[in-house]
Chains A and B, each alone.
Chain A
Amino acid sequence: MSAPSQTQCQAGLSNAAALTLAAAIMLVPANLLPVLGTETPGDNRTDTIFSGVAELWRQDLWGIAAIVFMASIVVPVLKVAGLTWLLWSAHRGVPRKPRRLTRIYAVLDFIGRWSMLDVFLVTFLSGLIQFNELSTVKPRAGILAFAAAVILTVLATRALDPRRFWREREPVSLTP
């Protein structure tokens, strides 16, 4: 596992930037379009990501609402913002605080997967809640955009190699 060359780094940076941009664009329909439709006699409602969280909050499920809010709204936004910051720092040249950037990278890498929560949730709910005429749950187009956004952010993190923050630095001498 040798350090990547300059061209490899540059290609990785462009790829990561493109994927981050695509994820940011995908987040717009993901948050605006409904992700879930619920049909019960006398009440048809569609939920976006945010109204789903608000509904949980209204049902006094505050803990669950907070978890879903974090995973579905805060994490994707944080991730796109963090990736943008890392890419900008890398683009500007030798970063002054590579250790901090590496930390941020590790955090972004860890939190990204939890955004898939809503995709798993919608899948599971629409499989389970199919009571004929009484109550049905249907996935809506927004979940497609949301899944795409999450997958794109994970791909962007994979494309960005944190070793590039350290490329211009001498290795540390680890002798006492």
Chain B
Amino acid sequence: MKGGGSAIAATIGVKRPPRQHRVQEGTPRRLGVSIQGPMHATNPNLVCRLCGQEHGEVRLAPGESALCGRCGATLERRGLFGPDATMAYALTGLIFAVPATLLPFMTAEKLGDERVGFLFTGMLYLWDHGMALVAVPVFLFGYLLPVCLLGALGALMAGARLGLRPAHARGLHQAARMAVHWSMPEVQVLAVLVALMKLGSVVDVAIGPGFWCYAAMSVFLLFAWRTFDLAPA
């Protein structure tokens, strides 16, 4: 399956042959292989987002991905569980978002005085103390955009499942693509863990259930986006 790599290498001017294997039509495909399209680009939507190279339509088996023949970026990926999994991840993430806002993230105790920190405690404190310019991005990136993204993915997948074509599907898709660059729940998860370690030597701290729900929401958003973003249309 390695043959022919040098032809591409010559065309795009890289010195060493590309690592990806080329696969003939009709043969079984393995994980992570690059699949060459037919002679003409039959699916004009399959354009590499990074370099703009147009590719022909590819047919992927579950678990396979197609790589750009020019810059090597992943063009499409077909999940093991199909599009319903994306909807399930998104809806599970949305469900976890509710207890994440209501249950305590962390409790801290010093000399009998106990403080309970929720997701919004820090943002509200900053808002009240003249730091709204920090509180707003933290709220947007850490809560509002991740939740909107989960909602958008859930709505898009559910709409497709029910055979509806929502009038705003295209706009929703573009909005999701914008929102993903700004939704950073995983960074907030890491920040809370750093806070836990940092405070551990000063006060008695304990992680609360709200944090675990938030972390679960973050993981399900990751799963949902990874199966949605590069899913074959």
Contacts and interface: CB of A to CB of B under 8 A. Distances in A.
Interface of A: 1, 3, 56, 59, 61, 64, 67-68, 71, 98-99, 102-103, 105-106, 109, 113-114, 116-132, 134-135, 138-139, 143-144, 147, 151, 154, 158, 162-163, 165-167, 169, 171-176
A71 B191 CA distance: 11
A1 B192 CA distance: 39
B203 interface: yes
B151 to A, nearest CB: 20
Interface residues of B, number: 65
A69 to B, nearest CB: 11
8 contacts: A71-B190, A99-B14, A102-B72, A117-B190, A127-B121, A128-B121, A129-B203, A158-B181
B36 interface: yes
Contact of B199 (A129, A144, A162, A167): A129
Q: Secondary structure of the A side of the interface?
A: helix
B194 A147 contact: no
Interface of B: 4, 7-8, 11-12, 14, 22, 24, 36-37, 39, 45, 47, 49-56, 69-73, 105-106, 108, 110-111, 113, 115, 117, 121-126, 129, 131, 133-135, 137-138, 141-142, 181-182, 184, 187-188, 190-192, 194-195, 197-199, 201-203
Contact of B71 (A67, A102, A173): A102
